[in-house]
Amino acid sequence: MTRKQRRSRAAVDTSAPTIKQVAEQAGVSTATVSRVLAGADGVSVELSKRVRAAVGALDYQPNRIARNLRVRGTRTAGLVISDIQNPFFTSAVRGIEDVLQADGYTLLLGNSDENPARERVYLATLRAEGVAGIIVAPSGAEVSEYRKLASARVPLVVIDRNVSGLSVDVVTVANADGAHAAVAHLIGLGHRRIGLIAGPPSVATSGEREAGYAKALAAVGLPLEAELIRYADFRQGGGYAAAQALLDLTAPPTAMFVANNLMTLGALQAIHERGLRIPADIAIVGFDDMPWATSLQPPLTAVAQPTYEMGATAAQLLLARVREPDRPNRHVVLATQLIVRASCGNRML
Amino acid sequence: MTRKQRRSRAAVDTSAPTIKQVAEQAGVSTATVSRVLAGADGVSVELSKRVRAAVGALDYQPNRIARNLRVRGTRTAGLVISDIQNPFFTSAVRGIEDVLQADGYTLLLGNSDENPARERVYLATLRAEGVAGIIVAPSGAEVSEYRKLASARVPLVVIDRNVSGLSVDVVTVANADGAHAAVAHLIGLGHRRIGLIAGPPSVATSGEREAGYAKALAAVGLPLEAELIRYADFRQGGGYAAAQALLDLTAPPTAMFVANNLMTLGALQAIHERGLRIPADIAIVGFDDMPWATSLQPPLTAVAQPTYEMGATAAQLLLARVREPDRPNRHVVLATQLIVRASCGNRML
DNA sequence: ATGAAAGCGCTAACAT
DNA sequence: ATGTTAGCGCTTTCAT
């Protein structure tokens, strides 16, 4: 019925113009139109002009779907991230977008929300949608899921968290080094009881950061005390609870290292609620530098991750693989940087 | 050459299986396979079973591109936002995603980065990609740009900032009311010199918030002083500079209302750098509540926008229009909420 | 209940 | 230099 209505209104053709209509209007064949639009040489100036005029008159937009079907490939790349609300990822998205866009690609973005089931759905959809390749920030789907993609020869690059047992391109940061630098800095400032608010043990990045913490302590012969290490969920609420626990200790830490940005927010909240002073009562350094770090009082010392660069690198890797499917895999590890501000305290004070 | 290589490797067919292969394997016609996959009734249990088996064996995934071409329509919606780094938008994205996903749609996301040219590119790409509809957070493209979409009958819904002279579905928040509530609260606390850090005058939301500020002052007979109003760019750096200017005044304000989240971060930084105390020396309330608001010391009083709901509403409007292209346009205005914390000061203290 | 076949809009051989 | 035409993989009449 709806359909009939639409058809009967057909005095003005409401549907998008096709290449055929352009060809008619210009008095040429569709092949010529296609050539002009593709910028192929070997078309006379005269016809070229007529085609362009017709395109303009009709406001013609080539149908990408038809084109994609014909050339069996799209100028679209897929991205599935695990938390679109986390600035860490949005910054990476920009990096990805910038290099992709420069190559004429469009980004199809999905947000798995740290939910493996949702991640699977997006992976499948993206594949069915015929994307040229996929960049994924894993959120716990089984390795087999990624393998399926790989065996279907869908270019795949993994970012942020490595997936063990999977050989694809991956770009991560030097998590252990970053954590090590942060904790070593705290030690250098005289701290001996340093709390760690770690992420879920199951997540690769979390383990690496914990290893960096341990290594920094070991380097100066400090013991690894279980009570000083709290595992949370990488979210604000988890960081809040973990900080509470740490602060409740009979011998609370004099400093804490928080393994991600959202948990740092939670820890800060716990500290403020108790009226504790930073860094006099408790020093704090976070992992991942954020826009709000400089707006805190005192400004937050943090391990900065090159998020934009991570995204850009991943996109480059993807593009390279699209061009050359059989090139060897690469794992690029980006360096972090400790940004020292005031929340960690300072010898001078 | 590359193509030839691929072809000669053809012992194992590396390309995705097609419906034809499934049909062969199952010993039926492609029409039957299509019917089974579409869940159409009128296929015998026997054939249905054989088809399913073949699908499983081949790990067949229907080619969406071919399908889309055939049915002239996609289960894909486009979204172009103006700043993916702004939590305001990412929260809206989640709302959009959730309702779209529930209806089987995939989201194609573009980030215009407040750049009209980039916005145009995304709009065109999305259209060519054949999306079922587009949600856009305008970042300054000409009205004609949106009109083009509308006249091509591409369902369109505008969020956050209304575009004057355009009749489409739009969802915004009650900006003036929100600003009014914030400033009235400050006045109630005894403040008489209240600074305003406004956004670009050209942006609709900015003007509305300024109007709310003016109305609150007028309500109690307070004059509108030009020196207390600073226009910035809705970004952190702009807020920082504007706050500096306000604080440099011979008679600086005792409170300030900042018209967006990023500028609030900048203002906070300026205040802290001068060693001013909040709220004793200067009270502050921001527009848009953020995860970090509770982690500040003192916690930030802010006008909360229902961002998730804004996204969800927009998606619903879009879906409704896809179903019924000629339904009347709607402009839904969502209420804001003043979240009073400590940064605005308190009579009790 | 099932199959044959047309055709969605485009590009790329292949002809001329 | 330009046109003709055969599909890309799928859905959907229309026959049977």
Check if A291 contacts B (Cβ < 8 Å): yes
Mean pLDDT value of segment A166-179:
97
Cβ atoms within 10 A of the Cβ of A113, count? 17
For residue A87, which residues of chain B lie inside 8 Å, CB to CB?
A: 85, 87
Residue B44 Cβ under 7 A from any strand C atom: yes
Check if A120 contacts B (Cβ < 8 Å): no
Q: What is the DSSP letter of B17?
A: P
Residue A42 Cβ under 7 A from any strand D atom: yes
- Write b or e for each residue in A192-209: b if 16 or more Cβ atoms lie within 10 A of its Cβ, otherwise e: ebbbbbbbeeebbbbbbb
Rounded CA-CA distance A45/A88 in Å is 50
Nearest-CB residue to A65 (from B130, B152, B262): B130
Contact flag A74-B65 (C-beta cutoff 8 Å): yes
Q: Which of A92, A182, A194 is nearest to A137 (CA)?
A: A92
Question: In this complex, which residue's CA is closest to the C1' atom of nucleotide D2?
Answer: A32
pLDDT (tens digit, 9 = 90+) per residue, B56-94? 999 898 998 999 999 888 888 999 999 888 889 999 999
Contact A247, A268 (CB under 8 A): no
Contact B298, B273 (CB under 8 A): no
Q: End-to-end distance of chain A based on CA atoms, in angstroms?
A: 79
Q: Which of B137, B138, B139, B111 is nearest to B125 (CA)?
A: B111
Mean pLDDT value of segment B30-52:
92
Contact flag B106-A106 (C-beta cutoff 8 Å): no
Rounded CA-CA distance A281/A268 in Å is 13
Residue A218 Cβ under 7 A from any strand C atom: no
Asked if the model's pLDDT at residue B214 lies above 90, the reply is yes
String of DSSP letters for B277-345: -TTTT-EEEEES--GGGGGSSSPPEEEE--HHHHHHHHHHHHHHHHH-TTSPP-EEEE--EEE--STT-
Asked if the model's pLDDT at residue A130 lies above 90, the reply is no
Asked if the model's pLDDT at residue B205 lies above 50, the reply is yes
Tokens of A204: 């690769």
Q: What is the nearest CA distance from A336 to chain B, expressed in angstroms?
A: 20
Contact A238, A198 (CB under 8 A): no
Mean pLDDT of all residues in chain A? 91
Contact flag A93-B111 (C-beta cutoff 8 Å): yes
Contact A51, A227 (CB under 8 A): no
Tokens of A63: 């149908």
pLDDT (tens digit, 9 = 90+) per residue, A238-271? 999 999 999 999 999 999 999 999 999 999 999 9
Nearest-CB residue to A129 (from B106, B122, B125): B106
Mean pLDDT value of segment B243-255:
98
Question: What residues contact A218, with CB distance under 8 A and at least 6 apart?
Answer: A224
**Cα A168 to Cα A56, A147, A322, distances in angstroms:** 45, 9, 13
Mean pLDDT of all residues in chain B? 91
Asked if the model's pLDDT at residue A317 lies above 50, the reply is yes
How do B283-287 and B255-258 pair as beta strands? parallel
How long is the CA B71 to C1' D15 vector, in angstroms? 22
pLDDT for the residue B101: 87
Mean pLDDT value of segment A77-103:
92
Give the helix ranges, DSSP H, for B60-110: 64-71, 87-102
pTM reported for the whole predicted model: 0.87
Q: What is the DSSP letter of A17?
A: P
Nearest-CB residue to B106 (from A107, A125, A295): A125
pLDDT (tens digit, 9 = 90+) per residue, B50-65? 999 999 999 898 998 9
For residue A262, which residues of chain B lie inside 8 Å, CB to CB?
A: 291
The B residues from 261 to 280 touching A (CB cutoff 8 Å) are 262, 265-266, 268-269, 272
Contact flag A265-B111 (C-beta cutoff 8 Å): no
